[in-house]
Structure 1
Amino acid sequence: MQLLSIDPHNIPKTGDDRPVATLFRYVIRMSGNHQVWVCLVAACVALLTMAPLELQRRLVNDVIVAGDMELLLLLGSLYLAVLVVQGLMKVALRLYQSWLSESAIRYNRLHLSRVYERRTAENDEESGGRAVSIIGAEIDRLGGFVGEGFSQPVVNIGILLSVGGFMLVVEPFIAAVSLVFLVPQVILVPWFQSWINRLLERRLGLMRDLSDTISELSSDGSEIGDTQLPKQVDDIYRNRIKLLFVKFGTKGITNFLNALGPLCVLVFGGVMVIQGETTIGTIVAFVSGFDRLSNPLREMISYYRVAAQANVQHKMIAKWIT
Structure 2
Amino acid sequence: MPRRLSGFISMMGRGHQAMLVLLSVFLFAVGILPLEVQRRIVNGATQGAALNTILVLVLAYLALVLSEGGIKLVLNVYRGWIGEVSIRWLRMAVIDTRERHPDDLTTLAEGVEMSIVLAEAEPVGGFVGTSISEPILQAGILLAVGSYMIYLQPLLALAVIAVFVPQSVLVPVLQGLINQRVKTKITVMRHLSEEMVDHTSPNSPKHQAARVQRLFSTNMSIYKLKYALNFLMNLMFQLGFAGIFALGGYYVITGKIEIGTVVAFIAGLNKVSDPWGALVDWYRDLKVTQVKYELIRDASTANASQANIQAN
CA RMSD across the alignment:
1.5
Give the deviation of 1:205 after TM superposition.
0.2
In 1: Cα distance, 2:267 partner to 2:260 partner:
11
Residue of structure 2 in register with 1:199 after alignment: 181
In 1: Cα distance, 2:174 partner to 2:97 partner:
36
Give the deviation of 1:224 after TM superposition.
4.7
Is residue 38 of structure 1 aligned with residue 20 of structure 2?
yes
8 Å CA contact 2:156, 2:244 repeated in 1: yes
Residue of structure 2 in register with 1:103 after alignment: 85
Give the deviation of 1:172 after TM superposition.
0.6
Relative distance call for 1:62 and 1:308 in structure 2 (3 A) is same
Residue of structure 1 in register with 2:219 after alignment: 240
Stretches (4+) displaced over 6 A: none
2:62 to 80, 101, 104: 80
1:150 to 124, 132, 147: 132
Task: Find the residue that maps to 1:66 and give its secondary structure.
Answer: coil
In 2: Cα distance, 1:45 partner to 1:246 partner:
32
Number of residue pairs matched by the alignment: 301
1:311 to 290, 299, 305: 290
TM-score, L = length of structure 2: 0.93
One-letter code of the match for 1:137?
A: A
Give the deviation of 1:177 after TM superposition.
2.7
Residue of structure 1 in register with 2:3 after alignment: 21
Give the deviation of 1:117 after TM superposition.
2.7
8 Å CA contact 1:210, 1:229 repeated in 2: yes
8 Å CA contact 1:216, 1:222 repeated in 2: no
Relative distance call for 1:237 and 1:126 in structure 2 (3 A) is closer
Structure 1 vs Structure 2: percent identity of aligned residues? Answer: 29
Give the deviation of 1:176 after TM superposition.
1.5
8 Å CA contact 2:195, 2:204 repeated in 1: no
8 Å CA contact 1:181, 1:258 repeated in 2: yes
Task: Find the residue that maps to 2:12 and give its secondary structure.
Answer: helix
Give the deviation of 1:230 after TM superposition.
1.2
In structure 1, list runs of 5 or more residues that go unmatched: 1-18
8 Å CA contact 1:49, 1:159 repeated in 2: yes
Residue of structure 2 in register with 1:299 after alignment: 278
Give the deviation of 1:70 after TM superposition.
1.1
One-letter code of the match for 2:299?
A: W
Higher helix share: 2
8 Å CA contact 1:196, 1:246 repeated in 2: yes
Give the deviation of 1:111 after TM superposition.
1.6
Task: Find the residue that maps to 1:139 and give its secondary structure.
Answer: helix
In structure 2, list runs of 5 or more residues that go unmatched: 302-312
In 2: Cα distance, 1:46 partner to 1:184 partner:
25
In 2: Cα distance, 1:210 partner to 1:124 partner:
15
1:171 to 149, 153, 156: 153
In 1: Cα distance, 2:71 partner to 2:195 partner:
47
One-letter code of the match for 1:268?
A: L
Residue of structure 1 in register with 2:310 after alignment: none
8 Å CA contact 2:25, 2:140 repeated in 1: yes
Give the deviation of 1:222 after TM superposition.
5.3
